[in-house]
Chain A
């Protein structure tokens, strides 16, 4: 199991490449925590992801859950701080600078690259969870539910909470 210092360092570094937010960092988190260091199994990783999805608040809280799982409440706090504070400081400095040196053209150009970069990371994160979940359950119903969710979410403007509740219900009844 990792030490608190190691966790703090890992998640600080991760926070600095976390373009696109929480779900966009899922592939890198999985690479570090599951593939490289074997701190968590695939099954636990995806279940922690599910808990963070079902809870209110920013999706990045999955990092806090990973910290809790690996090092208890100190791990929860260390990882949350390591993941939230460095980007906040960067943002603070950048916004200060921006208020006096604004250059909208430059921002638009960077945004035109970071937008699709983040979209690619989010798609990779979703795909990773889908593939991991399917290989863990070995059941076609998992893939079917994921595949059915995508068009439903895009076409029916419900609060995501309802889709999550339906998924939980189907799981509880033993369909998944």
Chain B
């Protein structure tokens, strides 16, 4: 994969632009930042074309860590080296971190009020539904791939059912999965 698409000059993006851009992305993302990241980076700022975006996102997904944060590291790095790799994720996280800190402090102070519990009970129930829906969307992509469905099922049983520690489960599933994937290819 070449990062630069032939026939297209990569734009120059300053550290300030990276910071401001990722600031907006971070603040827009309610219940998940990824759709907004795409909207801003590809459609609004034209920092990347759709193929480049997909490629960098894919790289971020094969590494541990939040996918959007990995994506911001790659994009920052691509345009401004290590400085960009620091500034872009910082821009994305800083404002949401302050908001979450204030909410957390309010929770520490007022968390014993019945009305707080009542509101949060509703948010938890909806939040669980949102996450399950996200998981189903992620899985839908693999609906014709028995090996992929088996991997997801193995994870649900091992981590959800048997409550095994995540590290050994990830090591075993990754190793086995990649071996099987190489043997059988795209099934």
User: Which residues of A are at the interface with B, using a C-beta cutoff of 8 A?
Assistant: 13-23, 25-28, 31, 35, 46-61, 64-65, 68-69, 73, 76, 80, 84, 86-88, 90-92, 94-96, 98-99, 102, 104, 107, 109-130, 133, 137, 141-143, 145-150, 152-154, 159-161, 163-164, 166-172, 174-176
Assembled-state Cα–Cα distance A117/B58 (Å)? 14
Assembled-state Cα–Cα distance A64/B1 (Å)? 36
Q: Which of B59-110 contact A (CB under 8 A)?
A: 59-70, 73-74, 77-78, 82, 85, 89, 92-93, 95-97, 99-101, 103-105, 107-108
Minimum CB–CB distance for A124 against chain B, Å:
4
A129 touches B128 (CB 8 A): yes
A64 touches B3 (CB 8 A): no
Prevailing SS type, chain A contact patch: helix
Interface size on B, as a range, is 35 or more
Assembled-state Cα–Cα distance A175/B136 (Å)? 27
Q: Which residues of B contact A19 (CB under 8 A)?
A: 64, 170
Assembled-state Cα–Cα distance A115/B57 (Å)? 12
Prevailing SS type, chain B contact patch: helix
A169 touches B122 (CB 8 A): yes
Q: Which residues of B contact A25 (CB under 8 A)?
A: 166
Minimum CB–CB distance for A145 against chain B, Å:
4
Q: How many A-B residue pairs have C-beta atoms within 8 angstroms? Tell me.
A: 367
| Residue from A13, A49, A121 in contact with B127 in the complex, judged by beta carbons closer than 8 Å | A49
A56 touches B96 (CB 8 A): yes
Minimum CB–CB distance for B99 against chain A, Å:
5
Q: Which residues of B contact A169 (CB under 8 A)?
A: 122
| Residue from A90, A119, A127, A175 in contact with B152 in the complex, judged by beta carbons closer than 8 Å | A119
Q: Which residue of B has the minimal Cβ distance to A27?
A: B159
> Known contacts A20-B67, A112-B181: does B30 contact A56 (CB below 8 Å)?
yes
User: Which residues of B are at the interface with A, using a C-beta cutoff of 8 A?
Assistant: 1-3, 26-33, 58-70, 73-74, 77-78, 82, 85, 89, 92-93, 95-97, 99-101, 103-105, 107-108, 111, 115, 117-139, 141-142, 145, 147-149, 151-156, 159-160, 163, 165-167, 170, 173-174, 177-178, 181-182, 186
Q: Which residues of A contact B100 (CB under 8 A)?
A: 51-52, 55, 57, 61, 64-65
B69 touches A47 (CB 8 A): no
Assembled-state Cα–Cα distance A96/B99 (Å)? 33
> Which 6 residue pairs are nearest across A and B when measured between Cβ atoms?
A57-B96, A87-B65, A171-B122, A149-B129, A160-B31, A120-B155
